[in-house]
Amino acid sequence: MFKAMCRILAISTIFLIAVNAMARDLPKGAWWTEPSVIKTLNQSNNEVTQLEEAFAEWRLNIGLLKGEIQVSQHKINEWMARNSSNPQGKERIIRQLRGKIEKARSLLPKTKPADVDKVRAILGPARFETLVDLEPL
């Protein structure tokens, strides 16, 4: 149990470091609605809408993955708390749930680069480079 908790803590730490590093790719906050950024990047209303939709989709995906992790972890905790007369069955279910957690955690860092790719596609290469060079808001 202690080793499993240490493993989960280590994976969480690596995940947070990765997310922090990826978050530096773009200015903070809803930058696509800031008038100065809109003017600098010469964004159209359609592009602002597309960026808002991309952000909403990214936020939804993150929420779904985090929910999957929380539900699976809760199920593991329930199984651990029960006195099961079938320890092998208990182990199998816990292993399956841990597999779901690991899969969801492995997908979390991949959602940010996908979002960055969408921003690059919406703005185009030149304006995306201008965005990256902007000072964080």
Task: Burial-class residue 18 by CB neighbours within 10 Å (0-12, 13-18, 19+).
Answer: middle
- Could you report the per-residue pLDDT of 89-106, keeping only the tens digit for each? 667 777 777 787 887 777
Domain ranges of the chain: 2-133
Would you state the pLDDT for residue 81? 72
- Could you report the per-residue pLDDT of 26-63, keeping only the tens digit for each? 445 688 888 888 888 899 999 999 988 888 888 888 88
pTM for this predicted structure: 0.56
Question: What's the fold here for domain 2-133?
Answer: Four Helix Bundle (Hemerythrin (Met), subunit A) (1.20.120)
Beta-carbon-side half-sphere exposure of residue 19 (alpha carbons within 13 Å): 13
What is the amino acid identity at position 103? K
Q: Measured in whole angstroms, how far is the alpha carbon of residue 87 from the centre of its chain?
A: 34
**Largest Cα–Cα distance in the chain?**
67
Q: What percent of the chain has pLDDT over 70?
A: 66
